[in-house]
Amino acid sequence: MKKSYQLVVAGAIGVLAQFSAAAQTPTITGASSQPLCPGGAVYERITWTATNADNFVLQTTYTGSGSGPWYNLYSGTATFHKFGPEPVGSYAARVQACQGETCGDFYYFNVYFPSYCP
């Protein structure tokens, strides 16, 4: 959702200047995951890119279908998170970009945990 703001600079003689700007909606522009294998365990490093954002929420359903409740994996300012280890399979995930209290839509993707590290 775009919000518009208007700044009016007034003086003793009236309005000196007017400025207006539309606030940009925080948006996730992409997300991906890559296996990490410390000590034989399989983790996934999830990364994402965004515009107009200063904080993020990453969630999973622990199912491949995206059905069921969503659980928070991460909330903060970084654009990556280490997820796992989890049993082999595909997991639905979503990440949301926020600018202060204003948040954009969730970006949906799948994270796959292989049976071994490649």
Give the domains, in start order, of the chain with CATH numbers. Answer: 26-113 (2.60.40.10)
59 closest CA partner among 106, 101, 112, 99: 106
102-113/14-23 β-pairing: unpaired
Question: Residue 46: in which H helix or E strand, if any?
Answer: strand 43-51
- The confidence band for 19, taking pLDDT boundaries of 50, 70 and 90, is low
Q: Which two tokens stand for residue 116?
A: 């071994």
Q: Which two tokens stand for residue 48?
A: 């994402």
Check: pTM over 0.75? Answer yes or no: yes
Report which residue type is found at 116.
Y
Instruction: Give me the residues paired with residue 80 across strands.
Output: 47
pLDDT digits (tens, 9 = 90+) for 33-59: 999 988 888 999 999 999 999 999 999
- The confidence band for 117, taking pLDDT boundaries of 50, 70 and 90, is confident
79/25 Cα distance (integer angstroms): 17
**103 in Cβ contact with 26 (< 8 Å):** yes
